């Protein structure tokens, strides 16, 4: 089997990420943080938060030192979820934030994710400015008198996040339902706050992998294979749902009350079907170009408008802001609503439980009401310097029989499904997604595209 070629350090829309050691080093982290600080106003306060991966503490020290050396006032948040960072940065007027987390990446990986003053990811212009400063090593420095000692994030500041959840969710309905829920926190940042979440919502929480030890007990990406370990205990415990998170709580997978591990592609449409009940017909929803058509069907059912853009959490959030969308998400298990400029696993979990409580319909029945498709996902190694040219040539093979969209790679749409081909921005590979009503059709289109790609590449 051909081994995938992976870049050990990359810089893109989600910041800097890489394999710790051969790629992501304390030196690289210092330079990236210095470039970020050089974009801030002098004396600007910056919030730093991290997940508990074993490398996060090392990177946190490097980032805090570099920010302080550039004259920033650093507030050390310790272990914070992605959603907490997205909320706290604008709530307390920080000039920006730096989230240190591997998210859904495998053990050994980590990342530095810069956040703007509104708590969102950097938009395209900010990204280019940041990259220019980083590559050009044009960093601001502070004299000894301008270096401020870092401050810890006070508990009263974290309390405002829980108050936000209480104001956003119907916690009275959730608590009255007396739910038992199984939660797998992947020993990540959610593990440090799971007990507080359960107490605030009145949940009987059965926690799995709930020690923020930094050791990843499973694949952190919430998919059916990482959800399967808890499926067998859902029914015996009488749990209303099983919730599976990545290490920074920006993605969520779901196991139904009958023990069915659901595709990560269903997290967004499942929550969206409930959330859209709050808004008038004609509201806008945002997703990426290669998420499941179940989203299209749910949006159509509510008489709303679906906008599709490039893949990536930063791109989706940017598009949500620019279009005024009421909800946004991706097929990776990321969902957000208007007012939160990022993805928050605790908010996702709360919305799911609120839907069960207020509708008084079991999760399995709500899943059964969704249109379902069969999806095939493949990753094809691709180190060719002519990859984009090959992708354009592949377009001609399907152009006559399907509608084509080249917003991000190529997407071919048929009445019963779609095929997406997109070159990865973080590794040398082609991402292929084929979805159709039948498994056979999805597989046939996937293999046809793969064979054509291999023929053109040879």
413-453 confidence digits (pLDDT tens): 999 999 999 887 666 788 999 999 999 999 999 999 999 88
Residue 394, pLDDT score: 80
In CATH terms, the fold of domain 169-368 is Alpha-D-Glucose-1,6-Bisphosphate; Chain A, domain 3 (3.40.120)
Structure tokens at 140: 């601001």
All residues at 6 or more sequence positions from 391 whose CB lies less than 8 Å from its CB, including other chains? 409, 410, 421, 423, 430
Q: Which CATH number describes the domain made up of 374-457?
A: 3.30.310.50
The answer for 249, left when phi > 0, alpha when psi is -120 to 50, beta otherwise, is: left
**Domains 7-153 and 169-368 agree in fold:** yes
Contacts of 404 (CB under 8 A, 6+ apart): 395, 398, 410, 411, 412, 413
Domain 7-153 is in which class?
A: alpha beta
Q: How many other C-beta atoms are found inside a 10 Å radius of the C-beta of residue 404?
A: 12
What is the per-residue pLDDT for 275?
97
Q: So what's the pLDDT on residue 427? A: 66
Using 70 as the pLDDT threshold, list the residues of the chain that sit under it: 1-7, 384-385, 425-427
Three-state secondary structure readout of the chain = CCCCEECCEEEECCEEEEEECCCECHHHHHHHHHHHHCCCCCCCEEEEEECCCCCHHHHHHHHHHHHHHCCCEEEEEEECCHHHHHHHHHHCCCCEEEEECCCCCCCCEEEEEEECCCCCECCHHHHHHHHHHHHHCCCCCCCHHHCCCCEECCHHHHHHHHHHHHHHCCHHHHHHHCCEEEEECCCCHHHHCHHHHHHHHCCEEEEECCCCCCCCCCCCCCCHHHHHHHHHHHHHHCCCEEEEECCCCCCEEEECCCCCECCHHHHHHHHHHHHHHHCCCCCEEEEECCCCHHHHHHHHHCCCEEEEECCCHHHHHHHHHHHCCCEEEECCCEEEECCCCCCCHHHHHHHHHHHHHHHCCCHHHHHHCCCCCEEEEEEEECCCCCHHHHHHHHHHHHCCCCEEECCCCEEEEECCEEEEEEECCCEEEEEEEEEECCHHHHHHHHHHHHHHHHHHHC
**pLDDT at residue number 384:** 64
Separation of alpha carbons 197 and 242, rounded Å: 15
Confidence (pLDDT) at 313: 87
Quote the pLDDT of residue 458: 72
Residue labelled with tokens 């590559």: 135
Give me the pLDDT at residue 3, please.
Answer: 32
Q: Which residues pair with 208 in a beta bridge?
A: 184
- What does the domain layout of the chain look like in residue ranges? 7-153, 169-368, 374-457
- pTM equals 0.93
Given the structure tokens 């509608």, which residue do they identify?
403
Question: What does the pLDDT look like over 205-263, one tens digit per residue?
Answer: 999 999 998 899 999 999 999 999 999 999 999 999 999 999 999 999 999 999 999 99
């Amino acid at each position: 089997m051909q081994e995938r070629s992976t870049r050990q350090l990359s810089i893109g829309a989600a910041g800097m990420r890489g394999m710790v050691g051969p790629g992501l080093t304390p030196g690289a982290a210092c330079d990236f943080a210095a470039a970020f600080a050089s974009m801030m106003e002098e004396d600007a306060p910056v919030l730093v938060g991290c997940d508990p991966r074993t490398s996060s503490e090392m990177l946190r020290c490097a980032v805090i030192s570099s920010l302080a050396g550039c004259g920033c006032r650093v507030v050390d948040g310790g272990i914070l979820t992605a959603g907490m960072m997205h909320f706290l940065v604008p709530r307390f007027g920080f000039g920006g934030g730096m989230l240190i987390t591997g998210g859904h990446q495998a053990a050994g990986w980590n990342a530095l994710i810069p956040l703007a003053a509104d708590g969102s990811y950097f938009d395209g212009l900010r990204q280019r400015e940041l990259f220019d400063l980083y590559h050009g090593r044009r960093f601001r420095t502070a004299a000894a008198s301008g270096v401020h000692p870092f401050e810890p994030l006070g508990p009263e500041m974290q309390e405002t996040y829980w108050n936000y959840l209480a104001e956003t969710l119907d916690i009275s309905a959730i608590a009255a339902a007396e739910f038992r829920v199984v939660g797998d926190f992947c020993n990540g940042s959610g593990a440090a706050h799971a007990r507080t979440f359960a107490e605030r919502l009145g949940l009987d929480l059965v926690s799995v992998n709930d020690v923020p030890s930094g050791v990843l007990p499973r694949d952190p990406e919430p998919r059916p294979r990482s959800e399967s370990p808890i499926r067998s205990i859902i029914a015996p415990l009488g749990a209303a749902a099983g919730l599976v998170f990545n290490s920074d709580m920006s993605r969520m997978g779901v196991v139904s009350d009958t023990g069915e591990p659901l595709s990560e592609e269903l997290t967004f449409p499942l929550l969206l079907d409930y959330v859209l009940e709050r808004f008038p017909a004609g509201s806008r929803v945002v997703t990426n170009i290669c998420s499941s058509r179940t989203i299209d069907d749910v949006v159509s059912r509510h008489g709303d408008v679906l906008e599709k853009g490039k893949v990536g959490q930063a791109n989706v959030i940017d598009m949500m802001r620019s279009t005024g969308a009421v909800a946004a998400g991706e097929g990776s298990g990321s969902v957000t609503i208007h007012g939160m400029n990022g993805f928050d696993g605790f908010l996702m979990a709360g919305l799911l439980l609120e839907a069960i409580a207020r509708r008084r319909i079991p999760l399995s029945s709500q899943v059964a009401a969704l249109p379902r498709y069969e999806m095939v996902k493949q990753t094809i190694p691709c180190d060719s310097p002519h990859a984009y040219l090959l992708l354009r040539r592949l377009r001609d093979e399907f152009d006559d029989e399907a509608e084509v969209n080249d917003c991000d790679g190529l997407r071919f749409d048929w009445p019963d499904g779609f095929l997406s081909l997109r070159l990865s921005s973080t590794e040398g590979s082609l991402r292929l997604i084929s979805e159709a009503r039948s498994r056979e059709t999805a597989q046939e289109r996937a293999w046809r595209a793969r064979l054509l790609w291999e023929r053109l590449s040879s």
